[in-house]
Structure 1
Amino acid sequence: MVGSVDLEGTELSTVPSFWECREYQRTVRRVETSNKLCNELAQMIQERAEVERAYAANLKRWSSKWLSFLDSGLEYGSGASAWKGLCVEADAVSNAHKSVQTQLIDELLTGLKHWQKEHFHKTPLPPHALKEAKLFEQDFEQAQKPWAKRLRKVYNGKKEYHQACKMERSLQVQVQNAKNDPSGTPEQQDESNKLKKMQDKLKKAEKEVERTRSNYTNALNDLDAESPRYLEEMTKVFNRTQEFERERLTYFKCLFMNMQQALNVTLKVK
């Protein structure tokens, strides 16, 4: 179960997981990444549109140049017809690539920017964070807060318990050493008093071990009792982030298919 700990001192897991404190940040950052991916895809489409525009313009210039040359009359008959046919074909291909550029900009890029604007909203004040990411973060924090509070009690209880055990063991050694001291000097009475004091300290230390052990056990029980609610609430928020990301993936897949169709110039050459 989330937050379960070995009572006898095994360290809490240090492997980061979604369920640990604030590890939901990785899920929140996915929202920011999605927005960035929209920007990157928009740039990709813009650059491809520029490639199409430049190619269309170059073909148009090439066709115009060699059609003008044909007007010189140096070529004639069937040769002139074939020559002209190549130039006309290039002109048609140029128009097709120009159509691709127009579709990329007017339909796909415009549609992407509109979708991004509808799904991602930035806060008006610096650092202009995404409202969607901020909302998910707040909901995760709210769901995790009671559990995190109990987890801190577990950590503190564990620390106090181990410190108490360490003190108990130290006093046990001191008392045993004092008992084994074969002193027969006039100061033996003083040594006896010191031993009694150490034994009193040991008794207090033993009580402290029991007290801290009880607190530690109670903290663990409280954490285990809180875990079902914690799992349920965190899962609810996580599922919302999943749906948010799933919507982006679905839109991107559709956009990729439309882009693939737009780039098929064979459907546009007339």
Structure 2
Amino acid sequence: MVGSVDLEGTELSTVPSFWECREYQRTVRRVETSNKLCNELAQMIQERAEVERAYAANLKRWSSKWLSFLDSGLEYGSGASAWKGLCVEADAVSNAHKSVQTQLIDELLTGLKHWQKEHFHKTPLPPHALKEAKLFEQDFEQAQKPWAKRLRKVYNGKKEYHQACKMERSLQVQVQNAKNDPSGTPEQLKKMQDKLKKAEKEVERTRSNYTNALNDLDAESPRYLEEMTKVFNRTQEFERERLTYFKCLFMNMQQALNVTLKVK
């Protein structure tokens, strides 16, 4: 049972789980993490595009430099042909890497930013939280609120019951001591026994309240599980969509980086 408590006083599990109060925050944060991953992946693509641009530019300069040197006429014949071939090949590879840069920026990076813009929206006012995360949080909170209210009653009922039991045990000892005390008076003993009877009634009252609170929590649990699962499944679908898009993007990026398909 979600949030069950042993009537004899075992503590609630202290291991955090999705079903405990506000532990859904970890699932909500996953939405924020997904948006951050989009930013990080965009930076990764941007940096790789810069690497491709710089390499293409260096190759282009290298090819131009040594083609110009060939114009000096110091090399001739088949040697000149081989020399020129290396420079022409470098120029073609440079164009291929420039093409990679263009594809990374114009297709992949632009596509990623467009996808991110469609799936993540920030609130207009500070701290500019993600609307999607805020909505999931509100839905989780709404689903958990009735259950959490009953759980608090269980905690309070448990505390009162244990305090009443503690008082009862203390008075039992005092009554027994009063019976064994030769200097005590019958009036003192009766007064102590009256307190004990009152404490025993308090134990029964708090035990009944505690039991009722547990039963209410039990009755609420099926609805709680169902509603929380509905919201969780929506967050799962949201994350699954991101993973599917990223997988497709990684495949396209791998293809874009295959220079052998671009060298002419």
TM-score higher than 0.5: yes
C-alpha distance in 2, partners of 1:117/1:208? 61
How many angstroms does 1:4 deviate by? Answer: 1.1
5+ residue gaps, structure 1: 190-195
Question: Structure 1 residues 186 and 67 mapped into 2: Cα distance closer, same or farther (>3 Å)?
Answer: closer
Distance apart, 1:92 and its partner CA:
0.1
Match of 2:215 in 1: 221
Segments of 5+ residues of structure 2 without an aligned counterpart are: none
Aligned-residue RMSD, C-alpha: 1.5
Give me the whole-angstrom Cα distance separating, in 1, the residues matched to 2:188 and 2:3.
52
Q: Find the aligned partners of 1:182 and 1:139 in 2 and give their Cα distance.
A: 67
Task: Using the TM superposition, give the Cα deviation of residue 185 of structure 1 relative to its aligned residue in structure 2, in angstroms.
Answer: 8.9
Distance 1:185 1:267, change over 3 A: closer
Contact 2:178–2:184 (8 Å) recurs in 1: no
Q: Secondary structure of 2:100's partner? A: helix
Residue-by-residue CA offset, 1:16-68 (whole Å, 9 max, x unaligned): 00000000000000000000000000000000000000000000000000000
Change (3 A) 1:125 1:5: same
Count residues in correspondence: 264
Give the CA deviation at 1:182: 1.9
State the Cα distance separating 1:80 from its structure 2 match.
0.3
Deviations 1:210-242 (A, max 9, x none): 000000000000000000000000000000000
Inter-CA distance 171–186: structure 2 relative to 1 (3 Å threshold): closer
Corresponding position of 2:125: 125
From the superposition, tell whether residues 198 and 91 of structure 1 become closer, same or farther in structure 2 (CA, over 3 Å). same
Q: Aligned pair in 2 of structure 1 residues 154, 52: CA closer, same or farther (>3 Å)?
A: same
Displacement of 1:186 in angstroms is 12
Could you state the TM-score of these two structures normalised by the residue count of structure 2? 0.98
- 1:72 counterpart SS class: coil
The alignment's TM-score, normalised by the length of structure 1, stands at: 0.96
CA 1:69–1:188: 2 relative to 1, 3 Å? closer
TM-aligned CA distance change 1:185 to 1:11, over 3 Å? closer
Q: Does 1:209 align with 2:203?
A: yes
